Structure 1
Amino acid sequence: MKIRKLLAPALLFTTLVSAPGWAANDTEHLMMLRNVAERGNLGAQLLLGLSYREGRYGLEPDEKAAFFWLEKAARGGLPYAEDLLGQAYAEGRGAPKDPAKAVFWWQQAANKGSADAQLRLGEAYLHGQGVGRDPRKAEFWLGRAADQGNADAQFLLGRMYHEGLGVEKDLQRGRNWLDRAAAQGHSDAVKLLHSLESFGIGITEAFQQSGHELERKALAGDPQAQYQLGLRYETGAWGVSRNREQALHWLTEAAERGNRLAMQRLVEIYGRGELGLAPDREKARFWQEREQVGKP
C-alpha cells in the first residue's frame, strides 16, 4: 500500500479542520482524528501521536500516549513515525531509554530513504551508541543523508574525512563536504573552515558574502567564487534561489578554471545523475581524470 493512500484520510482531516468557516472546537477535532486513527489509518495515528507529543487540539503533552500512537504508525511502516519512535527510545520519551531499539527504528526509516534517520543512524555507528562502533557504516549512512542535502550529515562527514575519524584522511574530500554544509549556512561548518589554517581565510570569507558580491567575483572569473556560487544555487541557501542549471553552470566554470573541488562535485553529479541529469559515465570519467591530473 502506498504511503499516499495511507495518509489520505488524515490529510483530508487536516484540510477539513483548517478550512475557512470550519467551526468545530478542539474536542471535535480530536474526536475525528482519534476515530480515523482507531480505524487503523497510519497517517492519523502519526498525527495523533504528534498531537500528544506537542499538546495540540487542547491536549496536555503526554509522552506515553504519544509513544503509543507513534509506535502504531511505525509498525505500519511510516518512515517519519519510525524515525520519531527511534528518537523516543533514544531520549526515553514515553518509554525507557533503549539505544538499541532506537537504532532498530532508525534503520527501518533509513532503509526507506529518511535523511533524518540516516543522519541519526550514522551518528550511532560513529559514536557506538546502541550499536557497535563502525566508522565505515557511519560513513555510509552519513553519506546517504549528505547526498540528500542534510547539512548536519555533510558537516560530520567533512569532519570524518578531514580528521581521519575511522576513515582514511582525505583533506580535499573533507573540504568538499564542509563547503557544502557551510553553503547551507551550517554555522559549525563555517567556524571549522575558519579554524583550518591550511584552507586559508579567503575560503570562508566567501560564505559571508552576499549572493550579489559572490556573483560579481564569479563573473570576473574567480574559480573559488564560482564554486561557492554553484553550491549556493545547488542548495538554495545564503540569499540565492535554488537553480539546478545555474548550479551546474558555475560548478563547470570553476572546474574549467582548475578548481578541484568543483571537479569532484561534477564527478558525483554525473556519476549519480544528480541535479535532474541522467547518469553520464563519460562525463564523470572525464572530470575524474582532470581532477587526478591536478593532484599535487
Structure 2
Amino acid sequence: MKQMTLKTTSDLSLAIAKDRFSRGTLWRFPARVPLLLLVTGLCLQMPAVWAQQQETPGKAAIPQESPFGTYGSFEKLLQAAQGGDADAQVKVSLCYGKGIGVTQDYEKAFTWAMKAAEQENAGGASIVAGCYLQGKGVEQNIPQAIEWVTKAANRGDVMAQYNLAATYYEGLYGIPKDEEKAFFWAEKAANQGDREAQCLLGVCYLTGKGVTKNLEKSAYWSQKASDQGAPAAQRNMGIFYAMGLGGLKKDVNKALELWKKAAEAGDSEAQYALGSCYAGDVEYYDPDKIYQNMPEAKKWLQKAADQGHERAKETLERLFHIKASS
C-alpha cells in the first residue's frame, strides 16, 4: 500500500490561527470581570480572532442567583457605577451590551466601559477596544481598538494579551505581522494559564517565529494547552508522540488517544491523522500496536473530508473509491 506522510516538524498543522480566524472569529472579552454570566455569548462582540474561546473550559459563566451578582438588581448596580465603582461600570456596560435588566443600548455600553477604562480598569479597556473594532456604540476605529486592547493587555488582562498575540501573529486589521510581539504577548497570556496562548506559544517554539526554535519547549507548552482540552494542542501533541519529537518517547497509542480527543472535538487535521493511522496509511504505522480498522478509518476520513480537508478527500478516493463532494 502506498504510504502517505502526515505533516512533519517543518509544517505541523498547529492551528491557532487557521482554525479560528478563517471563520471571522471574534475578540474575546475580559475574563476577570466578576459578572461572567454576562460575558458568555455577549452580543457586544469584537470581530476578529477570539470568539471561539468564550467556550474555553475555565472561562465559562459562573452560575449566580442574580445576573447582577451581589448587587441583586440592575438599579443597585447602576448606583454603584454612578458612584465611581469601576467594576460596576464594566458590569453596567455588559448589561447594556447584552440587554440584561435593561434595553440593549450599545452607546450606553460604550460610555460605561469608557468610564471604567479611564480609571485604568482592564475589563473596561478591553470592551472599549471591542466597541471601536466593530463600531458598536461608537464609530469604528481600528487604531483606537488596538490602542485600547494594548492598554488592557498592559494592565494584565489575559484575553487582551492573547488577542494582541493573535493579531500580530496573523497580521489582522491591517496591522503588520510582528512575530516577536506575537510571541511576547502569547507568553504573557500563556503564563496566566490561557490555553489558546499556550497553544500559540507551542507553535512559535516549533516554527521559530518570534523566538529560537525549541522542540522541547514547544512540546511543553503544547502539553499544557492539551491538558486544558485545547483540540489543536491535543492534535499537535499526538504528532509529537507519533514521531518521538520534543524529547518525548515515541508512543503511537498515546498519539491515537490524543488524536481521538481532538477529532471528537471536530479538529479536521486530527480526524485525518486518526483515519490515516487506522488505515495503515502513514509512515509511523506500527502493525504490532495499531490494528488496522478500515471502518474507523473511513469514518474519520469522511468527517475530515466533510470539513473540506483536501488530503482526507484524496485518501478516501484512493483507499475507498469515494468521491468526496467539494
TM-score, normalisation: structure 1: 0.62
Contact kept, 8 Å, 2:92 with 2:109, in 1: the verdict is no
Could you tell me which runs of 5 or more consecutive residues in structure 1 were left unpaired when the two chains were aligned: 209-296
Give me the whole-angstrom Cα distance separating, in 1, the residues matched to 2:298 and 2:177.
Answer: 43
In structure 2, give the amino acid aligned to 1:91. Answer: E
Contact kept, 8 Å, 2:215 with 2:245, in 1: the verdict is yes
Give me the whole-angstrom Cα distance separating, in 2, the residues matched to 1:83 and 1:76.
Answer: 13
Residue 3 in 1 paired to residue 32 in 2? yes
1:131 to 195, 211, 224: 211
Alignment of 1:16-31 (within 5 A): 16-19=96-99, 22=102, 25-31=105-111
Aligned-pair distance for 1:155? 0.6
Give me the whole-angstrom Cα distance separating, in 2, the residues matched to 1:183 and 1:173.
Answer: 16
Give me the whole-angstrom Cα distance separating, in 1, the residues matched to 2:230 and 2:97.
Answer: 32
1:78 to 157, 166, 182: 157
In structure 2, give the amino acid aligned to 1:144. Answer: K
1:174 to 255, 280, 297: 255
Give the match for residue 67 of structure 1. 146
Residue 191 in 1 paired to residue 235 in 2? no
In structure 2, give the amino acid aligned to 1:18. Answer: K
2:171 to 82, 85, 92: 92
In structure 2, give the amino acid aligned to 1:86. Answer: A
Could you tell me which runs of 5 or more consecutive residues in structure 2 were left unpaired when the two chains were aligned: 1-30, 35-85, 302-326
Alignment of 1:1-296 (within 5 A): 3-4=32-33, 8-19=88-99, 22=102, 25-57=105-137, 59-60=139-140, 62-93=141-172, 95-167=175-247, 168-196=249-277, 197=280, 198=285, 199=290, 200=292, 201-204=294-297
Change beyond 3 A, Cα 1:109–1:20: closer
Q: Percent identity among equivalent residues? A: 30
What count of residue pairs does the alignment treat as equivalent?
A: 207
Give the match for residue 229 of structure 1. none
Residue by residue over 1:18-50, the C-alpha shift from the partner in whole angstroms, topping out at 9 and shown as x without a partner, is 336845754343223222212221111011112
Give me the whole-angstrom Cα distance separating, in 2, the residues matched to 1:9 and 1:102.
Answer: 30
- SS of the residue corresponding to residue 193 of structure 2 reads coil
Give me the whole-angstrom Cα distance separating, in 2, the residues matched to 1:21 and 1:191.
Answer: 46
Q: Relative to total residues, which structure has the larger helix share, 1 or 2? A: 1
The answer to which structure, 1 or 2, has the higher relative contact order (CA under 8 A, 6+ apart) is 2
Give me the whole-angstrom Cα distance separating, in 2, the residues matched to 1:4 and 1:30.
Answer: 16
Aligned-pair distance for 1:186? 1.7
Give me the whole-angstrom Cα distance separating, in 2, the residues matched to 1:175 and 1:102.
Answer: 31
Contact kept, 8 Å, 1:67 with 1:88, in 2: the verdict is no
- SS of the residue corresponding to residue 168 of structure 2 reads helix
Aligned-pair distance for 1:107? 0.7
RMSD of aligned residue pairs (Cα, Å): 2.8
